[in-house]
Amino acid sequence: MPGLPQSPAAAAADVLPKRPRGRPRKSADALDDGNRRRALMDKAARLFLTQGYAATSTRDIAAATGMHSGSPYYHFKSKSALLHAVMAEGMAMALQSQQETLDALSPDAGARAQLRVLIRHHFEILLGPRSGFIPVMLYEWRSLTAAQRKDVARIKDAYEAAWMPALQALAREGALQAEPAVARLFIFGALNWAVSWFSPKKGLSLDALSEQALALFIQKD
């Protein structure tokens, strides 16, 4: 029906790269190239975060990855393209894993349960072992070109849109004391900045952190 919003699954399908059917299995060399590309992105994300994008050279990234100084250009045409890939591919990975998390929920799971798993998943993306791209997005967004920002924003918007059904349902139940779209902005602002203060050494698990965040945003049953 015209005018109805897309479901989260449909939005994800529109944004995530399409996988060709019948693709032949990758050779060992191709797999190695993929691993090197991933290693470049991981090391670049860490350096962009610790040193800043402007202060990090492709030579720095190559050295951190154990490659020759010109090797990054085999995988990325420029440092800017590498920054874009860190954000865009990280965001696409997060969108896909978020959809898988939602799909794993029971069909009769309520809005509170949906928001709980969304928050827990987001903390895993923010603070888990492959978390480098979110802090880079927070600090280096302006280092992207306008076209690159538009591309990353398209994926980011689809990721955040998947939260709206749960927030709208909670608002209808009276458990959310803000307009859902505004609440989403506040929630992401609060969750994202956990990267600046959270430390697992303080003894708080991601599960416990998620429960406290849920209690902060919505009223108890």
**List of domains in the chain:** 26-76 (1.10.10.60), 79-221 (1.10.357.10)
- Output the pLDDT for position 138: 87
- Output the pLDDT for position 20: 43
User: pLDDT of the chain along its 221 residues, tens only?
Assistant: 333 344 444 444 555 545 445 444 444 444 456 688 889 999 999 999 899 999 999 999 999 999 998 889 989 999 999 999 999 999 999 999 999 999 999 999 999 999 999 999 999 999 887 677 888 998 999 999 999 999 999 999 999 999 999 999 999 999 998 999 999 999 999 999 898 888 877 778 999 999 999 999 987 76
Sequential DSSP letters for 40-85: HHHHHHHHHHHH-TTT--HHHHHHHHT--TTTHHHH-SSHHHHHHH
- Output the pLDDT for position 201: 79
- Output the pLDDT for position 203: 76
CA distance 97 to 99: 5
Sequential DSSP letters for 139-192: HHGGGS-HHHHHHHHHHHHHHHHTTHHHHHHHHHHT---S-HHHHHHHHHHHHH
- Output the pLDDT for position 43: 92
- Output the pLDDT for position 202: 76
- Which residue is it, tokens 């987001």? 122
CA distance 211 to 64: 37
- Output the pLDDT for position 29: 43
- Output the pLDDT for position 14: 56
CA distance 95 to 118: 11
